[in-house]
Structure 1
Amino acid sequence: MKKILFVINTMGRAGAERALLGLLRRLEGRPYAVSLYVLLAQGELAGELPPGVRLLNPEYSAQDVLSGRGRRQLVKTVCKAFFRNGGCIRKARGIAGNLANQLKNGRVQPDKLLWRVAADGALRFEEHFDLAVAWMEGGSAYYTADWVRASRKAAFIHVDYGKAGYTKALDQGCWARFDRIFAVSEDCRSAFLQAYPELRSRTGVFQNIVSQEEIRRRSREPGGFSDGYQGLRLLTVGRLAYQKGYDIAIDAMKLLKDAGYRARWYVLGEGNERRRLEKQIARLGLQEDFVLLGAVENPYPYYVQADLYVHAVRFEGQGIAVWEAQTLGCPVIVSDYCGSSGQIEGGVYGVPCELTPTGVAEAIRSLLDDAEKRETLARRAAEKETPQGQEEQLFALLEDPAPLREMAGAAAHG
């Protein structure tokens, strides 16, 4: 039986993690021995792994990665990684170099500073795999490239590479050590190739796997809004992070309120931007109009009960929450991020918006004012099927001849 290893940064409640669960469920019943290594050994979704998947972490925390306690736990994990496997001086120099580059670019991103530390200080295994899959860019890609023993290696990119803050200097040649590099959309692939045109022949598109049957089943479970609000409900699902553009959404909600619209905007998700967003909400007097509900175990009943789903983000690889909203018949509004054009197909399955407070507000107004259009979009969205058969691209790697990747470097390669 051939062995497949998946590596992911965390298993928190986020889109890429849910997409991995979708793929792992597709592997059930296949003749493969499937293992998972969670680089930072934390996240709630590990409890939802299919029974046949072997979790390699000897110690694991189910703590929410975005809560205060969860972030403190992550700090402890990274500190342990700094001192594990030696090379502390090299790791410190790497952090300093990355910090200098980020300061030069005007935005410090702590995760980009520490992914190398997490990867180089993670557990190492003597076991050899037929296929190793880095499910995320950053730490899991660096770890899989440098420290996993495997005949074939594949990696996934879920973000707009440049806008997310990745650089060749940060990557240190890791992508050349993969046989296949999958982006979750054609736009996402194009963004990656702007930095790595020489790897074009190794790249492909592998859209996120969304189990529509599972989403519909879970949407029928108890849950959803409990505030008794009688107006129109807007919904966004995602981490409270800069990339998600909530500051723009809050300003858009202020414009809607000032224009006399009776609506309430809810956000499901947690993150390090909470305090800043709460201050912005209070400053604009939107405490009853823009509500941060935090992360929830089952978001799907909320989609069913919402009137509109808004996904106005600064950058994204492909919005899994948009697929989820469409599956449950919720009209969607999306900004212009990687993969968004394929999700709404020229306005057939959703409404595009400019990523400004005015642009977002105008798109929302166009649907709040037109119940018939909302119903049409809801019906079309519910009929839209998500991509199928993507996993066959991975299985094909198990049958390919000798690897294409560069074999030079750490002894663990191959």
Structure 2
Amino acid sequence: MKKKILFVINTLGRAGAETALITLLKKLPENEYDISLYVLCGQGELVRELPTYVHLLNRHFCWESVLSKKGKFLLFKTVLIKNFCHGAFFHNLSYLFLNRKNTPLEKLLWRIVSDGSERFDTHFDLAVSYIEGGSAYYVHDHVSAAKKAAFIHVDYVQAGYTRRLDKDCYVDFDRIFAVSNETAGVFAGVYPECQQKLSVFHNLIDTEAIRQKALSPAEKSMHEGIRLLTVGRLTPQKGFDCAVYALKLLLEKQYPVYWYIIGEGPEYGRLTQLARSLHVEDHFIFLGMQTNPYPYFKMADFYIHATRFEGKSIAIQEAQVLGCAIAASDCSGNREQIVSGVDGLLCPFSPEGIANAVEYLIEHPQTAQSFGREAAQKACHFENDIHMIRDLLYLP
């Protein structure tokens, strides 16, 4: 008899954790498991890539990107409706009041979204919260399952989570999976009593599919010159503001650099204004969300990932698969993915630090090529963690 497994995630937009979830679902044999997925906000373009054997439990689902203008409006509408389902808003008044000063509203709302979401009578053998916030609260409070597991994809402290915000929900999970050693260490510092049930489960990526998609033609062309690429949501965490200043420094040194950005997010307006104010708008180029970003990795000279903090970057893994020379900020997550001077460069998170790293790659082309070759070799080992799926499904 097939084991019943439920995965829960907040949204299904084209981002790192969501992409990793799709890959994980494709790795699970349909003849062994009856797999269901519930998306709290019922929205996201990656729903098109769900394996056909995965049961989507949402009665209504919107394929619109959660980061597009229309998508953000629809997301707001969904959250507003959930305020009045199951009395979610009124039940959480004291919670909202106690946490209002030190917690961003978007994080407080995940509790309401969780409590206002659909409930299901099915009893599962395993329920998995695949991301922090709402999905963890939902699996903890509203799912009936023999075993429960939760994934941690971010630096728990830097991302602004606290025990009070989460109501200590992780204490009750049977297993907790962090996507990197540093992510696990930070989480254990907040929840020391969870140390024994905390394991590292690296993000899974489909290396062969990435290589095949990279062979397709890109939708948009790139300028002649030195082409940099960064992929990520346009949020403060991703440090694009620092990248704009770094680009200014490189152009002042007469390097013919064009920096391409793939992604959407709330910082778009501020970043475009910043680029204009520094007179680099013709060189800091937004490509928006790309269904297939991989041809751009192949076209770029260097992949740059200068973020304030990370859990474990899917974009860095993808760049490694495609043999890119990489420079990344020296922060949690990135440190675990790159051996500086061997398969890439780690640099200080500052305009000067980023610009100096890019300049080094430009001035040392043979070393940059060596970084790319080493990165591609490292990518061959990403699939080695696939055995941990068994640990996930058969909890002791």
TM over 0.5: yes
* Residues 1:193 and 2:194 aligned together: no
Equivalences for residues 315-394 of structure 1 within 5 A: 315-384=309-378, 385-394=380-389
Please name the residue that 2:20 is paired with.
Answer: 19
Q: 2-side partners of 1:83 and 1:380: how far apart?
A: 53
Please name the residue that 1:78 is paired with.
Answer: 79
Check conservation: 1:157, 1:183, Cα contact below 8 A. Answer: yes
* Residues 1:290 and 2:284 aligned together: yes
Higher RCO (CA-CA < 8 Å; seq separation 6+): 1
Per the TM alignment, residue 398 of structure 1 is displaced from its structure 2 partner at its CA by 4.2
Of the structure 1 ranges 87-96 and 273-282, higher mean CA displacement relative to structure 2 is found in 87-96
* Structure 2 residue ranges without an equivalent (≥5): none
Q: 2-side partners of 1:4 and 1:164: how far apart?
A: 28
Percentage of pairs with the same residue: 47
Q: 2-side partners of 1:111 and 1:315: how far apart?
A: 19
Look up the SS of the partner of 1:390 in the other structure.
helix
Q: Deviations over 1:136-178 (max 9, x none)?
A: 0111111111111100000000000000000111000110121
Please name the residue that 2:65 is paired with.
Answer: 64
* Structure 1 residue ranges without an equivalent (≥5): 103-108, 402-414
Check conservation: 1:82, 1:91, Cα contact below 8 A. Answer: no
Per the TM alignment, residue 259 of structure 1 is displaced from its structure 2 partner at its CA by 1.2
Check conservation: 1:210, 1:386, Cα contact below 8 A. Answer: no
Look up the SS of the partner of 2:382 in the other structure.
coil
Q: Deviations over 1:6-38 (max 9, x none)?
A: 001111010111101111111134500111000
Q: 2-side partners of 1:186 and 1:14: how far apart?
A: 21
Q: What root-mean-square deviation, in Å, do the aligned CA atoms of Structure 1 and Structure 2 show?
A: 1.4
Q: In 2 relative to 1, CA 162–274 (structure 1 residues): closer, same or farther, beyond 3 Å? A: same
Match of 2:140 among 122, 140, 145: 145
Please name the residue that 1:410 is paired with.
Answer: none
Q: In 2 relative to 1, CA 133–271 (structure 1 residues): closer, same or farther, beyond 3 Å? A: same
Letter in structure 2 aligned against 1:132:
A
Of the structure 1 ranges 385-394 and 70-79, higher mean CA displacement relative to structure 2 is found in 385-394
Please name the residue that 1:124 is paired with.
Answer: 119
Please name the residue that 2:96 is paired with.
Answer: 95
Please name the residue that 2:210 is paired with.
Answer: 215
- TM-score of the aligned structures, taking structure 1 as reference length: 0.92
Q: 2-side partners of 1:301 and 1:357: how far apart?
A: 27
Look up the SS of the partner of 2:224 in the other structure.
coil
Letter in structure 2 aligned against 1:73:
L
Check conservation: 2:12, 2:43, Cα contact below 8 A. Answer: yes
Q: 1-side partners of 2:149 and 2:389: how far apart?
A: 8
Letter in structure 1 aligned against 2:138:
Y
Look up the SS of the partner of 2:311 in the other structure.
coil
Equivalences for residues 170-185 of structure 1 within 5 A: 170-185=165-180
Letter in structure 1 aligned against 2:95:
G
Per the TM alignment, residue 377 of structure 1 is displaced from its structure 2 partner at its CA by 1.1
Per the TM alignment, residue 375 of structure 1 is displaced from its structure 2 partner at its CA by 1.1
Q: 2-side partners of 1:84 and 1:358: how far apart?
A: 50
Match of 1:304 among 284, 298, 303: 298
Aligned residues: 394
Of the structure 1 ranges 361-370 and 89-98, higher mean CA displacement relative to structure 2 is found in 89-98
Check conservation: 1:212, 1:386, Cα contact below 8 A. Answer: no
* Residues 1:260 and 2:254 aligned together: yes
Match of 2:274 among 263, 266, 280: 280
Match of 1:230 among 224, 228, 232: 224
